[in-house]
Structure 1
């Protein structure tokens, strides 16, 4: 088991769940509600698990990429997670299926797509180059255990990216 592969697989699942929302009938409020509820739990638990287990180790072992150092990578990732969180919270301000709700879902999707692309190009590559297989396995176990433990969800809380790096770097 390798945390970089686990994250890639979970990114695929996130993309698929957004696609499922696309395919649901727009007037099936029950289906939209339960699929979105499942996706928003998945997004937050995934982000929190990364912030608890993956990013601290990336800060320790990573070297960065041509666009910036590892600290910059992690600050950007936490900012991205906050953008996703903000959009998910914004969806709660609207009735499911309404134009406002779809706008918030779209913002969550856009922020998530941008984040996943950057993470796959930068953070996961950096980690593959600088973390041994045992470390990658150990973090995968931690992440999957955390996610299983919190399958019903956790509170959505933004983090200050600079403070996060200072505390975890």
Structure 2
């Protein structure tokens, strides 16, 4: 197992589920809400697991990749992105499923998530693959997958101050 492969797999799953929501626009809100709940849980658990297991290790071995100035800059940006995704998911929860404000919040989550995934794939995952040995990549994948299995119904993980997160985990 390799954490970078698993993160890429989850990114594919997230993209697919947003596409399913596109196809369900105008359908029964109960159906749309069920798909959204699964996706919202996936987004929240994914971000929490990355912040608990992946990014602390990246901060210790990474150097910055692609267009990132440093590993600290990569990580700060990722945590900021996670906050935006969590905030959009929370905004969706304040509206009735299928209403215009609900769809606006879902779209905000999608835009934030799409931007995050592209940057993470270009910077963070490339940086980690360049500097982490296979055993480290395996160990983090096991931690990540265990956390995901334990929290399949979602997790309440608060927004983090990006700079404080980097300082605390460096």
TM bin, normalised by shorter chain, reads: over 0.9
Aligned to 1:39: 39
Write the deviation string for residues 90-142 of structure 1: whole angstroms up to 9, x where unpaired: 11121100000000000000000000000000000000000000000000000
TM norm structure 1:
0.98
Aligned to 2:133: 132
- Distance (Å, rounded) in 1 between the aligned partners of 2:159 and 2:32: 25
Deviation at 1:25, TM superposition (A): 4.4
Deviation at 1:156, TM superposition (A): 4.2
Write the deviation string for residues 141-166 of structure 1: whole angstroms up to 9, x where unpaired: 00000000111111141111111111
Spell out structure 1 runs of 4+ moving beyond 3 A: none
Q: How many residues align?
A: 169
For residues 21-32 of structure 1, what are the structure 2 equivalents within 5 Å?
21-32=21-32
TM norm structure 2:
0.97
Aligned to 1:168: 169
Q: Is the 8 A contact 2:48 2:157 kept in 1?
A: no
Report the RMSD for the aligned CA atoms in angstroms.
Answer: 0.9
